[in-house]
Amino acid sequence: MWLWSSLGSTRGLQPPILRYCEDQIRGTPPAPVSKGCVPDNDLAHWVLLLRMGTIWFQQLLSLIYFEEHHKGTGKLQTMDRVPFFKYNCQKVDFGERPSPRLFSTHLSYYLVPSGLKNKKAKIIYVYRNLKDVMCSYFHFAKNVMLQFTSTFEEFMKQFLNGRVLESLWFDHIRGWYEHKSLFNIQFLMYEEMKKDLRGSVLKICKFLGKELSEEDMDAVVRQVTFENMKYDPLANYDNIITTEYGMNVKGHFLRKGTIGDWKNHMTVEQNERFDKIFQREMKDFPLKFIWDVNED
């Protein structure tokens, strides 16, 4: 049931992206996935779309829940601490994972197991301003997809038409938001995390019902800073993408981690075109977005 959240949107994919997607799908064993993923106990689960801060929250949740990670004694890669439902490269039986089971996914709301609707599992949906998501995604594609040759302009058109892995952002966020009453879900803004990391971690702990000592809180906050994660080989994905996904990474998975980098990419004309589409698609959408580092 988990195997292909984005196949509906593969029509416009570049062949390497499509192959990557298909390879991941083929690599996922049906049996453990179908019997193990229905969250009926103390599972904490979170969800988001590409380049919105997945790795950040994988790291954060693993540190909040597991002492061996925030004390630095565990040696698991972040991706293995909070595995992706869809890309089960290690062929792990999800049902056998230690409690609380933490997962990440980019799936749309209608593709997740119906067990999530019993509301015992907690879901965190991380969202980020779409211009920065698009720029981050462009670099990611350029750096990991061997045959990716699109210009920024070409990519922007593809992206805004949902012809990228994980489909159309507008539908994804709207879908989750409009169906939020079906789930036990908290929406969190990437930019809010950037601006007030400690305050955001406290908010997340409150939602998860976790109380950390001052000392543990300090350790968690320190370890989820961009600067720490970028140079932590367990957290930065740089090795894992090459060794486990067989991709040829040119840049870094953790690239800039800033708010407003889109200003370094988009022309005035592209920005105006983007704004028109965004306003049309997100009209009356209640969540706020932060586009600039100086914005509150």
Interface with ligand PPS by CB under 6 A: which residues? Answer: 50-56, 132, 136, 139-140, 224-226, 229, 254-257, 261
**Alpha carbon distance 218, 133 (integer Å):** 28
Q: What is the DSSP letter of 84?
A: B
- Residue whose pair of structure tokens reads 């997340």 in the numeric block: 204
Angle between helices 214-223 and 197-208 (to 10 degrees): 120
Q: Which is nearer to ligand PPS, 43 or 52 (CB)?
A: 52
Task: Please confirm, yes or no, whether 106 is among the known catalytic residues.
Answer: yes
In angstroms, give the least distance from the CB of 283 to ligand PPS: 26
What is the DSSP code (8-state) at residue 89? T
Among candidates 86, 130, 109, which has minimal Cα distance to 172? Answer: 109
Which segments within 120-205 are labelled E, that is strand? 122-127, 184-189
Nearest-CB residue to ligand PPS? Answer: 257
Q: Where are the alpha helices (DSSP H) in 232-286?
A: 238-243, 268-281
56/228 Cα distance (integer angstroms): 11
Which CB sits closer to ligand PPS, 13 or 42? 13
Tokens at 224, concatenated = 């989820």
In angstroms, give the least distance from the CB of 256 to ligand PPS. 4
Catalytic residue of the set 45, 106, 139, 265? 106
Shortest reach from residue 263's CB to ligand PPS, in Å: 12
Q: What minimum distance in Å lies between the beta carbon of 120 and ligand PPS? A: 25
Q: Which amino acid is at 140?
A: F
State which residue, 132 or 290, has the beta carbon closest to ligand PPS. Answer: 132
Nearest CB to ligand PPS, comparing residues 225 and 243: 225
- Active-site residues, by number, are 106
